[in-house]
Amino acid sequence: MSKDPIQMSLKEPARNQPLAEDAEAVPSRVREGILAVPGEFRLHFGGMLTSVSIAWRLTGPAGAPVVVALGGISATRRVWQPDEPRAGWWHEVVGPGLALDTAHYRVLSFDYLGASADSTGPRDGVPFPSVSAYDQAELLLRLINHLGVAFLRAIAGASYGGMVALAFGERYPDRVARLVVISAADRAHPMASAWRVVQRRIVKHAIASGQPAQGLELARALAMATYRSPEEFAARFSGAPRRANEGAEGEGFVLPVEEYLFARGAEYAQRYRPESFVCLSESIDLHRVDAARIFAPVTAIAVREDQLVPLGDMRAMVARLPNAELHEISSVYGHDAFLKENRRLAPIFANCLNVEGTA
């Protein structure tokens, strides 16, 4: 999962029209818009939506091959910002000279169906149907058709985005040259699902109690404990506890890790919709694709310290895939390594995307 520090306040543009482009202000061309999907959109698990809207963004040199970049359930279409390099959610990996080098590729992304950004999602407490990675893949197909992109150079998907990439590769192998799948398998691990089930119960209870933001803060705090490795927590949070009220007795103590978890939880609750968290967290746990039917070439990247997607699951998936290679890396960032480890990801991306000189 990933953090997106941007709170978007875009005014919705005309349907199926790009937002204003700013090609002269920045080196790379930026196109952005909202695709309106006409009629009924039938979902993989049997639900149905009408008037679905998908917000998208395409950034990079005009005419360059297109790579789709997808992240965790909190990721948005703002993968990187040419005019503000550290603003995008994948800014440590995507950009000029980085692992996904925007000097060579145009980067396409979209706000997930069901998420908390500008695509169709839960609003105002209205019940929202269950969403599958297959639904996200179908919307990606409709998006590239709308943009006139006949063939994707790759889909680079991490966490939930890797699940969407696998779903796309199974359904539409003739539209993509390669899948780059980081910390995502063909099905969710029951232990990871156990953590997420508790998180969703917390949020649902808080919504029913009239305290949705507080519930999301607690759920996100719990989730943060699963994203990184025990080694990183030991290095960062081994300090002594402090009294809840400095100088006062009988007020209890606050642990260093406690301050971190709840600070991140509070930050997240300010910018993400609780109902969207429930929707896409469930989508992760419902994820199951048929690896044997994914004929697009797959470069899988596993993180040995990942608590949510164990190395064994990645190895087992690669064994089931008809055309796949597995790269194993180590990182104290655990599941969040895809956000941080440009140095380790760069040579893998350069090799599988056939880019020379990626630093």
Nearby residues of 100 by Cβ (< 8 Å), 6 or more positions away? 67, 69, 90, 93, 94, 107, 156, 349, 353
Largest CA distance in the chain: 67
> Which residue reads 């997607």 in tokens?
309
3-class secondary structure for the chain? Answer: CCCCCCCCCCCCCCCCCECCCCCCCCCCEEEEEEEEEEEEEECCCCCEEEEEEEEEEEEECCCCCEEEEECCCCCCCCCCCCCCCCCCCCCCCEECCCCEECCCCEEEEECCCCCCCCCCCCCCCCCCCCCCHHHHHHHHHHHHHHHCCCCECEEEEECHHHHHHHHHHHHCHHHECCEEEECCCCECCHHHHHHHHHHHHHHHHHHHCCCHHHHHHHHHHHHHHHHCCHHHHHHHCCCCCEECCCCCCCCCEECHHHHHHHHHHHHHHHHCCHHHHHHHHHHHHHCECCHHHCCCCEEEEEECCCCCCCHHHHHHHHHHCCCEEEEEECCCCHHHHHHHCHHHHHHHHHHHHCCCCCC
**Cα–Cα dist 359/63, whole Å:** 23
Nearby residues of 351 by Cβ (< 8 Å), 6 or more positions away? none
Other residues' Cβ atoms within 10 Å of the Cβ of residue 80 = 27
Task: Give the residue numbers marked as catalytic.
Answer: 159, 306, 335
**Cα–Cα dist 187/197, whole Å:** 15
